[in-house]
């Protein structure tokens, strides 16, 4: 993080802003996680009036090579004081204009929310970052056998690792511009929810969604 020599006025203004602002509404649906999030435009519309009222403003610059996107956020006060946050680097799902655009929007939303102390997503208790999107599978209760029939086979515990991670599910959401189409493709592979997708089918599903 970089900052001006003094941030006294900036700090007073930011404290007033954070005392007045409320978390923006989570008005967009994430069809893959069955959760809601705040779109970038709603985040900006919520914060901008109170930023201006307290003499604050911001600039977000974007750079990168197409496959990696870097978002840098600069917060400023009308006294000339400023704070520049550390750059946020993201890897685009694909090296195209569409892929870069999605990564930029995603990065700007997260970086700006963090800079202003706001929440733009529902809290998943860190499971997305850790890849713990699935609870450990419990083996089904074994039923008593009759007529000398063999007991039902219990799925091995290791099957839990065959399911894609939360980060991979987020990638599916990021590359999809049509939620209904994505659902149809997922259903085509026999899954009723993205939470059930196995790693063996993941790349094939991603390729069809990107088409």
pLDDT tens sequence across 138-196: 555 555 555 566 655 555 544 456 888 777 777 777 777 667 777 888 888 887 888 88
Looking from the CA of 138 toward its CB, the CA atoms found within 13 Å total 4
Prediction pTM value: 0.55
Could you say which DSSP state residue 93 is in?
Answer: S
Rounded to an integer, what distance in angstroms lies between the CA atom of residue 105 and that of residue 38? Answer: 12
Report the pLDDT value the prediction gives residue 119, as an integer from 0 to 100.
80
Write down the domain spans for the chain: 2-116, 159-211
Name, in order, each residue with C-beta under 8 angstroms of 145's C-beta and a sequence gap of 6 or more: 151
Rounded to an integer, what distance in angstroms lies between the CA atom of residue 162 and that of residue 185? Answer: 19
- Tell me how far CA of residue 14 lies from CA of 56, 58, 68, 83, in angstroms: 8, 12, 31, 11
Contact 83, 75 (CB under 8 A): yes
Out of 55-64, 77-86, 124-133, least confident range: 124-133
Contact 67, 95 (CB under 8 A): yes
The helix or strand, by DSSP H or E, that contains position 88, with its residue range, turns out to be: strand 88-91
Report the pLDDT averaged over residues 71-86. 96
How many CB atoms lie under 10 A from the CB of residue 172?
Answer: 22
Contact 163, 134 (CB under 8 A): yes
Report the pLDDT value the prediction gives residue 49, as an integer from 0 to 100.
94
Question: ∠ CA 127-129-133 to the nearest 5 degrees?
Answer: 35
Distance of CA 44 to the CA centre of its chain: 17
């Amino acid at each position: 993080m970089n900052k001006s020599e003094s941030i006294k006025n900036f700090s007073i203004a930011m404290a007033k802003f954070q005392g007045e602002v409320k978390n923006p509404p989570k008005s967009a649906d994430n069809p893959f996680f069955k959760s809601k999030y705040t779109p970038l435009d709603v985040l900006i519309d919520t914060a901008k009036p109170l930023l201006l009222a307290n003499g604050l403003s911001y600039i977000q610059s974007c750079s990168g090579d197409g496959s990696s996107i870097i978002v840098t956020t600069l917060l400023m006060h009308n006294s000339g004081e400023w704070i520049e946050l550390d750059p946020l680097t993201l890897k685009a799902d694909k090296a195209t204009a569409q892929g870069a655009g999605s990564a930029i929007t995603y990065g700007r939303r997260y970086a700006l929310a963090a800079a202003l102390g706001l929440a733009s997503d529902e809290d998943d208790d860190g499971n997305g970052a850790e890849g713990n999107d699935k609870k450990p599978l419990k083996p089904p209760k074994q039923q008593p056998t009759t007529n000398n029939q063999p007991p039902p086979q219990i799925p091995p515990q290791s099957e839990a690792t065959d399911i894609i991670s939360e980060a991979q599910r987020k990638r599916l959401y990021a590359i999809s511009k049509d939620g209904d189409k994505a659902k149809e493709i997922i259903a085509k592979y026999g899954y009723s929810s993205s939470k059930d997708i196995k790693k063996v089918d993941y790349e094939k599903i991603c390729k069809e969604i990107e088409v």
